[in-house]
Amino acid sequence: MNHWHGKQVLVTGADGFIGSHLVESLVEAGAKVRALCLYNSFNDWGWLEQSPVLAEVEIISGDVRDPFLCKKITQDCHTVFHLAALIAIPYSYVAPNSYVETNVNGTLNMAQACLDNGVSRFMHTSTSEVYGTAQYVPINEKHPVQPQSPYSASKIGADAMAMSYFNAFEMPVCIARPFNTYGPRQSARAVIPTIITQIANGKKRIELGDTSPTRDFNYVTDTCRGMMAIAASEKTIGQTVNIGSNFEISVQDTLELIKELMGSEVEFVQDEQRLRPKDSEVFRLWCDNSLIHELTGFEPQTDIRAGLSKTIDWFTQADNLKRYKANIYNV
């Protein structure tokens, strides 16, 4: 029996990178999907604009910072996937209050709305950035959280706010904590799209921040499958669950792999403005994914080489490439 068939679900942040892929995965699974896209005067629905499932989705434009809107959009929902967040780390250095407003207060608004409307499952989305630089590897869910940027601090606060609704009100909350997701539609702030778009635009030298940190990269469809597995399981209520590959690779080795797959002779050089403040850089992220496997049976399906190949194929299509400003540094 398909858990999602016929169920009314809400995805916040549905216009974004992971959110748009999650919407498509849920539609494919037979769910009735309501998608919250960030309100803007262009009436732009982000990555859902070109989605093949757009006609099957109920689109709502709005903002999780408004509690009245949150209460309205959660009515009659079985499951809420809360992905709406400000995510850029460098921008959090210059606009930290925006991160508290959207990430902490937005999560509070959504949690209260779900409680008021008797939603059967509230799945809040965390991030591996809350762990900071690994104190031990691989990182399991018991690893301390370390607020190494205003962004990670806001997500630690948002996670705590969501879990407080489980502890205080017995609301069925689960927290998905994905490690580094990549794939088609990812923001150009992230290192993989930055490299692919610049190589595709013929750059001979690419300026980068520190390439020595390691990451646990996960192809976007695996992240979505993990989220759906966590939200569908009774065992995950009241739990925070990592989504990752249990595989660590340095940013430098990732770049070399992209270079190889694209047949490029590009040279990588360090750019001082792209370096994070010394105590803010997260040097190691390597996910222990044993809990998600134990609770749901989830295993990633796309390895780094296959995932990068799919990502390169998408980014190098002319219509997709022109959406990215490869010649500027995105904060």
**Closest residue by Cα to residue 183 from 217, 216, 219, 223:** 219
135 and 105 within one domain: yes
Q: What is the pLDDT of residue 280?
A: 66
**Closest residue by Cα to residue 32 from 14, 66, 7, 1:** 7
88 and 232 within one domain: yes
C-alpha span between 158 and 139 (Å, rounded): 20
Q: What is the pLDDT of residue 325?
A: 78
| Residue 62: inside a domain | yes
The answer to whether the beta carbons of residues 110 and 64 sit under 8 Å apart is: yes
From residue 1, give the alpha-carbon distance in Å to each of 5, 6, 14, 30, 235.
8, 12, 26, 11, 18
From residue 102, give the alpha-carbon distance in Å to each of 77, 82, 130, 268.
22, 12, 16, 35
| Residue 233: inside a domain | yes
135 and 79 within one domain: yes
| Residue 105: inside a domain | yes
229 and 122 within one domain: yes
The answer to whether the beta carbons of residues 20 and 314 sit under 8 Å apart is: no
Q: What is the pLDDT of residue 327?
A: 66
| Residue 3: inside a domain | no
φ, ψ of residue 217 to 5 degrees: the values are -85, 140
200 and 151 within one domain: no
274 and 209 within one domain: yes
Written as one string, the DSSP assignment of 27-53 is HHTT-EEEEEEE--TT---GGGGG-TT
Q: What is the pLDDT of residue 330?
A: 54
Residue ranges making up the domain that contains 276: 183-215+247-281+303-321
The DSSP element (H or E) to which 243 belongs, if any, is strand 240-243
How many domains does the chain contain in total? Answer: 2
Place of tokens 């923001």: 187
The tokens describing 172, both together, are 């069925």
Angle between helices 191-200 and 304-315 (to 10 degrees): 50
**Closest residue by Cα to residue 234 from 309, 292, 166, 295:** 295
104 and 71 within one domain: yes
**pLDDT 10s digit of each residue in the chain, 331 long?**
689 999 999 999 999 999 999 999 999 999 999 999 999 999 999 999 999 999 999 999 999 999 999 999 999 999 999 999 999 888 999 999 999 999 999 999 999 999 999 999 999 999 999 999 999 999 999 999 999 999 999 999 999 999 999 999 999 999 999 999 999 999 988 889 989 999 999 999 988 888 889 999 999 999 999 999 999 999 999 999 999 999 999 999 999 999 999 999 999 887 776 666 777 678 899 999 999 999 999 999 999 999 999 999 999 999 998 888 766 655 5
Q: What is the CATH number of the domain that holds 313?
A: 3.90.25.10
pTM of the model: 0.95
Q: What is the CA radius of gyration of the chain?
A: 19
